[in-house]
């Protein structure tokens, strides 16, 4: 099983926004990078007024509520100055969540052995949607173990360039891992505060 991705290419998002969300992403990403964060996704919705949701994380996949507030304080003036969205809107900064979108090749390595759903831009062997256990990235393909009709369990490779959308599947195992990482993050944050006092 290959689980490695090397170099800066593993950090580049292969899924990008379009339209207005792409304009917001172009403004938000440099601010996030300057603050030490990575952009995961920008989504704009019109439910109950316009909401601009920006998912972000540290390179290690963590983000705290305080860091979300810090991003908002730094990003709001940039969005106000460039005014990509006409009218009133609500800016929402959040973590990617437990059943997070997978937007970088490194995401598929970070979450090896967890279940994911992948939708392709076009049909491959008569299918666009695949669900299975991640096995990493090899030669520009996401490797995953899937149940294929009449063939059984098989490891397949899906070209990264053909992926339209990918996300983790919410399972008990994923929830346990998310809680474990959260506890580790809280402990690290607490020890950092102790050291600062």
- Whole-angstrom CA distances from 195 to 1, 35, 61, 67, 70 are 40, 21, 23, 19, 21
Q: What pLDDT sits at residue 57?
A: 95
Q: What pLDDT sits at residue 8?
A: 44
- Whole-angstrom CA distances from 11 to 2, 79, 125, 127 are 17, 25, 29, 28
Query: Dihedrals φ, ψ of 190, to 5°?
Result: -65, -40
Indicate the SS3 state at residue 150.
coil
Query: Dihedrals φ, ψ of 76, to 5°?
Result: -55, -45
Structure-block tokens of residue 140: 């520009």
Q: What pLDDT sits at residue 193?
A: 58
Which residues, in sequence order, are CB contacts of 40 under 8 Å at separation 6+? 13, 55, 56, 57, 96, 100, 101, 103
**In this structure, are residues 105 and 5 in contact, taking their beta carbons and an 8 Å threshold?**
yes
Task: Record the pTM.
Answer: 0.84
pLDDT tens for each residue of the chain, 197 residues long: 455 544 444 578 998 899 999 999 999 999 999 999 999 999 999 877 799 999 999 998 889 999 999 999 999 999 999 999 888 899 999 999 999 999 999 999 999 999 999 999 999 878 899 999 999 999 999 999 998 777 778 999 999 999 999 999 999 999 998 888 777 766 766 776 554 44
Q: What pLDDT sits at residue 7?
A: 46
Q: How far apart are alpha carbons 145 and 123 in whole angstroms?
A: 18
**In this structure, are residues 112 and 124 in contact, taking their beta carbons and an 8 Å threshold?**
no
Structure-block tokens of residue 123: 């049909």
- Whole-angstrom CA distances from 99 to 13, 45, 79, 151, 177 are 18, 19, 28, 28, 11
């Amino acid at each position: 099983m290959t689980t490695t991705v090397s170099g800066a290419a593993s950090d580049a998002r292969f899924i990008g926004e379009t339209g207005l969300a792409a304009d917001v992403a172009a403004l938000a990403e440099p601010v996030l990078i300057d603050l030490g964060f990575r952009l995961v996704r920008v989504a704009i919705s019109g439910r109950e007024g316009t909401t601009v949701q920006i998912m972000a994380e540290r390179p290690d996949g963590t983000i705290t509520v305080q860091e979300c507030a810090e991003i908002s304080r730094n990003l709001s003036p940039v969005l106000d100055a460039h005014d990509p969205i006409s009218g009133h809107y609500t800016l929402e900064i959040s973590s990617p969540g437990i059943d997070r979108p997978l937007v970088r090749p490194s995401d598929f390595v970070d979450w090896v052995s967890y279940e994911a759903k992948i939708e392709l831009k076009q049909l491959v062997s008569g299918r666009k949607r695949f669900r299975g256990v991640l096995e990493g990235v090899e030669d520009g393909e996401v490797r995953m173990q899937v149940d294929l009709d009449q063939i059984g369990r098989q490891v397949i490779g899906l070209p990264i360039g053909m992926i339209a959308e990918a996300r983790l599947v919410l399972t008990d195992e994923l929830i346990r891992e998310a809680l474990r990482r959260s506890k580790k993050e809280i402990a690290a944050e607490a020890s950092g505060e102790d050291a600062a006092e």
